Amino acid sequence: MRIKNKITDLFKIEHPIIQGGMVWVSGWKLAKAVSENGGLGLIGAGSMKPELLAEHIQKIKQNCQKPFGVNLPLFRGDIEELISVVITESVKIVFTSAGNPGKYTEMFKQKGIKVVHVVANLKQALKAESVYCDAIVAEGVEAGGHNGADEIPLSDLIIQLANEVKIPIIAAGGIVDKHGIEKAISLGASGVQIGTLFAASVESSAHINYKEAIVKAGENDTALFFKSIGLIRAIVNPFVEKAILSEKKNVPQEELVELLGSKREMLGIFNGNLEEGILEAGTGVGKITSVKSVADIFRDLVNDSSKNSLT
């Protein structure tokens, strides 16, 4: 498979496959591996202080000649410091999420930085287009981690956005194989963003327990929870069971916020605590059956001769 289109042109990459910027998972090593295999690697700033982000950007610049990007969650209290690092380090591609793209996109573009914004519904997509984002990530309800409140299935979202938006669409949520890529592109996307599959790769900085939990999980083993305080999709474990039941019992919001705390993602993904941590993952987990190198993952995703990838 060799797709050349608006997304490969935009980022000057071989395959329209972008690795999601994920907390505790996508440092410079994973981003480098993805970029060197012809995709676009993203450093996930979500779990990094500004100094650590600077370090990761410097490392990837020293060790990788291919294009890479940084994912910036706009809700961060220190977002302006993170932005300042990105600019100082001359990053050329930024993916923004969880906030208003109207605030910083123009400034980024004036500095020659390509900006892609993550959206989960039409309104957000039109907003991103109106402030001149170069592309959007359309994230469906299948996606792991933080999720849009509208819970729109990816196929529906792509079809709707392809009808209404002119900038290229990168489909995200539940995509873990070539079939998923082909389907997204057939519906109107120009590229895909893949998270969970790379989170479970050799080069991911996540804990091995988390990677193995992804490998073990079946197709019905993730769930969406905490609708009232911000939806998250993760593998169902004792913590998530407690969260779901608390929510179902109409426990007050303050108690849900307290139950969630601030370290659950680190605990699960980075420290490998399978009971008390949050193991963010998309619905594609059922098809992830081993921890592979990024090179092997790309072989599966782009190799035409792979038999079961066209089913």
Contacting residues toward a copy of itself, per CB under 8 A: 220-225, 236, 241, 244-245, 248-251
Question: Diameter of the chain by CA atoms?
Answer: 53
Q: Which C-beta is closer to a copy of itself: that of 233 or that of 264?
A: 233
Pairing mode, if any, of strands 191-194 and 17-19? parallel
Q: Which C-beta is closer to a copy of itself: that of 114 or that of 233?
A: 233
Question: Residue 247 CB, nearest distance to a copy of itself (Å)?
Answer: 9
Q: Which C-beta is closer to a copy of itself: that of 228 or that of 303?
A: 228
Distance CA 253, CA 251 (A): 7
Question: Residue 181 CB, nearest distance to a copy of itself (Å)?
Answer: 23
Q: Which C-beta is closer to a copy of itself: that of 159 or that of 236?
A: 236
Residue 139, SS3 per DSSP:
strand
> Considering only CA atoms, which of 188, 207, 144, 181 is closest in space to residue 15?
181
Distance CA 27, CA 205 (A): 7
Q: Which C-beta is closer to a copy of itself: that of 131 or that of 223?
A: 223
Question: Residue 142 CB, nearest distance to a copy of itself (Å)?
Answer: 11
What are the C-alpha distances in Å from 245 to residues 53, 89, 225, 256?
37, 45, 10, 11
Token representation of residue 298: 């790309």
Residue 178, SS3 per DSSP:
helix
Q: Evaluate whether 55 touches 86 at the Cβ level (below 8 Å).
A: no
> Considering only CA atoms, which of 197, 200, 158, 146 is closest in space to residue 174?
197
Question: Residue 201 CB, nearest distance to a copy of itself (Å)?
Answer: 25
Q: Which C-beta is closer to a copy of itself: that of 93 or that of 141?
A: 141
Pairing mode, if any, of strands 222-225 and 232-235? antiparallel
Question: Residue 120 CB, nearest distance to a copy of itself (Å)?
Answer: 19
Question: Residue 204 CB, nearest distance to a copy of itself (Å)?
Answer: 24
